[in-house]
């Protein structure tokens, strides 16, 4: 039995289009007894929406098989926040929902927060930035859901959580060290221990991004598989410091291994 951790966008689907052969591969892996989990850094949708999308695209999946950066953020805060601690959150509704599900206390007064959470927020403002900055001045720990600079959309890309990180770093003058999504070891460990229940070297991470999917796998000792169906070209691969163990044209080729 092996564990397979799949990235979603660029690996399983591109926008609203399933990648050719993906449903068959997932079905075949599950059919032979392998375990499958889907990981995404995107913080502006909730896990249920991913389940619905995958089902609609022909991949049968349960809620427990989809993990996103919001979920890991909630899990992390639950383990580190003490009595009287509270979080100031920049992000969209799905992030707030995930934190509410985990009973994370939100700060009544932003500047008094013990933790600041940065997520992708398409209503990001100077006031929100200032709130986060004032909390930081008062000693709050800063964490972010994901480091992605941009998110690919039809006809291009738009700023992602990396832009919110950049704004706060510009004010504080220091890097945001704690990232909960890929490539963090937090996410890798959670998936190995709590979802798959397997050792790193029994698992494969299949994804299209070198600096998140491949880096997380390599750092954690998970076999890394890069697919060229998404963001990464062969040219980008040649110059990269993150070298995958295997390179496939698409997830479809996984079955031939």
Q: Closer to Mg ion by CB, 7 or 160: give it.
A: 7
For 107, what's the count of Cα atoms within 13 Å in the CB-facing half-sphere? Answer: 21
Binding site for Mg ion (CB under 5 A): 7, 9-10, 208
Beta strands 141-144 and 178-179 are: parallel
Rounded-to-integer distance, Cα 212 and Cα 244, Å: 11
Closest separation between CB of residue 207 and Mg ion, Å? 6
Interior angle at CA 68, CA 9 and CA 74, nearest 5: 160
CB distance 1 to 203 below 8 Å: no
Q: Closer to Mg ion by CB, 10 or 119: give it.
A: 10
Residue number, nearest CB to Mg ion: 10
Q: Closer to Mg ion by CB, 109 or 243: give it.
A: 243
Closest separation between CB of residue 11 and Mg ion, Å? 5
Closest separation between CB of residue 9 and Mg ion, Å? 5
Name residue, tokens 């990001």.
Answer: 124
Q: Both tokens of residue 157?
A: 């890309």
Q: Closer to Mg ion by CB, 86 or 229: give it.
A: 229
Rounded-to-integer distance, Cα 243 and Cα 215, Å: 8
Cis upstream peptide for 183 (omega within 30°): yes
Q: Closer to Mg ion by CB, 94 or 207: give it.
A: 207
Closest separation between CB of residue 209 and Mg ion, Å? 5
Using alpha carbons only, how large is the chain's radius of gyration in Å? 18
Rounded-to-integer distance, Cα 18 and Cα 251, Å: 11
Q: Closer to Mg ion by CB, 105 or 149: give it.
A: 149
Residue ranges of the alpha helices (H) in the chain? 22-31, 47-56, 69-80, 93-101, 126-137, 161-172, 185-190, 215-220, 234-238
Closest separation between CB of residue 183 and Mg ion, Å? 12
Q: Closer to Mg ion by CB, 9 or 65: give it.
A: 9
Closest separation between CB of residue 7 and Mg ion, Å? 4
Closest separation between CB of residue 253 and Mg ion, Å? 17
Name residue, tokens 């979802």.
Answer: 195
């Amino acid at each position: 039995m092996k564990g397979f951790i799949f990235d979603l966008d660029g690996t399983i689907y591109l926008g609203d289009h399933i990648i050719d052969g993906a449903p068959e591969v997932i079905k075949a892996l599950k059919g032979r007894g392998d375990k499958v989990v889907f990981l995404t850094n995107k913080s502006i949708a909730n896990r249920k929406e991913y389940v619905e999308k995958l089902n609609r695209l022909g991949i049968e999946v349960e809620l427990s098989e989809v993990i996103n950066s919001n979920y890991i953020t909630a899990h992390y805060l639950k383990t580190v926040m003490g009595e009287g601690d509270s979080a100031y959150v920049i992000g969209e509704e799905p992030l707030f929902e995930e934190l509410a599900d985990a009973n994370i206390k939100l700060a009544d007064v932003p500047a008094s927060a013990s933790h600041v959470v940065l997520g992708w927020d398409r209503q990001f403002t100077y006031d929100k930035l200032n709130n986060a900055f004032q909390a930081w001045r008062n000693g709050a720990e800063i964490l972010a859901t994901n480091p992605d600079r941009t998110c690919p959309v039809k006809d291009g890309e738009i700023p992602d959580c990396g832009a919110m990180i950049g704004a706060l770093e510009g004010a504080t003058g220091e890097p945001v060290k704690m990232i909960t999504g890929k490539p963090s070891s937090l996410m890798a460990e959670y998936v190995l221990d709590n979802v798959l229940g397997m050792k790193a070297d029994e698992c494969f991470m299949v994804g299209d991004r070198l600096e998140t999917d491949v880096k997380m796998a390599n750092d954690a000792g998970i076999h890394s598989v890069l697919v060229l169906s998404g963001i990464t070209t062969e040219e980008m691969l040649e110059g990269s410091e993150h070298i995958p163990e295997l390179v496939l044209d698409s997830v479809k080729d996984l079955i031939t291994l």
